[in-house]
Amino acid sequence: MPQVTADTPLGLILLALAGFFASGVNSFAGGGTLVSFPVLIGLGIGDLQANATNSMALWPGSLSSAFGYKERLGAIKSHLVSLAAATVLGATLGAYLLVQTPASTFRIVIPFLILLATCVLAAQSKIKSWILKRTVAIPPWCGWGFQFLISVYGGYFGAGMGIMMLAAMSLFVEGDLHDLNALKNPLAVLINVVAMSWFLAKGLVLLLPCLALMFGAVVGGYVAARFSLRVSPDRLRSIVVIYGLVMTLWFFVRLR
């Protein structure tokens, strides 16, 4: 039986399906990278290239979300301007660190990154509940520091960075969860754009697999929007968390 790789017809179909489900998971519960990234690896793409290709393929979802919350942005636009610099600097550093990381080192780091993203996703409901009840406030400069660190992570790997940003922003931004999402989404796009620029310049993005993933992601995002009320986000999140733990174990075993 011929080997299925990312550049074969069956491999491209699998990538489109991975993009479809990753985008749908992002719409309902978050954590879509945990779905699509392992598929890229499983189809024979190198770890660094898989990370870069996945980041570029899924970013349209953040862009569409940013437009969806644009009416909410007016009240907190000043924060967007002030956080943009920290975001660009952090994402630049994260992307730079990734392209400088030897493939052998990144292979070791991957299971820890996936475990971190899985834990953040598992705690998403509690984090959002805490955000709504928040009573702690920190100075704006501390918020810029948090955004810088999260952007470093976002430029380097990115899975789970959205909920990290929401948690950090709740400490220094006045507004409800919708306002925080309105602020988070354009900053996530900014992180992706900065990281993609680095990845493209270094030739880490594989065009054909990226397009297959992106096509599936666009269709998946549309379908998710149409059927959003028929799916339980909590149940889907639990499934993705279990999947993320299995993938963590698999990537640890792969190190042997």
| Single-letter amino acid, residue 85 | A
Greater model confidence, 12 or 143:
12
When pLDDT is averaged across residues 103-117 and rounded to a whole number, the result is 92
Q: What is the pLDDT of residues 118-134, one digit of tens each?
A: 898 888 778 777 766 76
pLDDT (tens digit per residue) in 167-206? 888 888 777 777 777 788 888 889 988 999 999 999 999 9
Instruction: Compare 136 and 143 and report the one with higher pLDDT.
Output: 143
Residue 225: pLDDT over 70: no
Higher pLDDT residue, 125 or 38? Answer: 38
Confidence band, pLDDT 50/70/90 cuts, at residue 1: very low
Between 220 and 195, whose confidence is greater? Answer: 195
Counting residues of the chain whose pLDDT is more than 70, the rounded percentage is 86
Structure tokens at 166: 């929401």
Question: Of 247, 205, 222, 221, whose CA–CA distance to 22 is shortest?
Answer: 221
Bigger pLDDT: 201 vs 70: 201
What share of the chain has pLDDT > 90, as a percent? 42
Distance, in Å, from the CA atom of 127 to the CA atom of 44, rounded to the nearest integer, reads: 36
What's the pTM value of the predicted model, to 2 decimals?
A: 0.83
Most confident of the ranges 25-39, 86-100, 159-173, 181-195: 86-100
Residues 6+ apart with CB under 8 A from 141: none
Give me the pLDDT at residue 18, please.
92
Tens digit of pLDDT for each residue in 3-31?
778 889 999 999 999 998 888 777 666 67
Residue 216, pLDDT > 70, answer yes
Q: Is the pLDDT of residue 215 over 80?
A: yes
CA distances, 31 to each of 81, 116, 144, 158, 233 (Å): 27, 11, 24, 10, 12
Q: How many CB atoms lie within 10 A of CB 6?
A: 24
> Smallest Cα–Cα separation from 123: which of 175, 160, 173, 150?
160
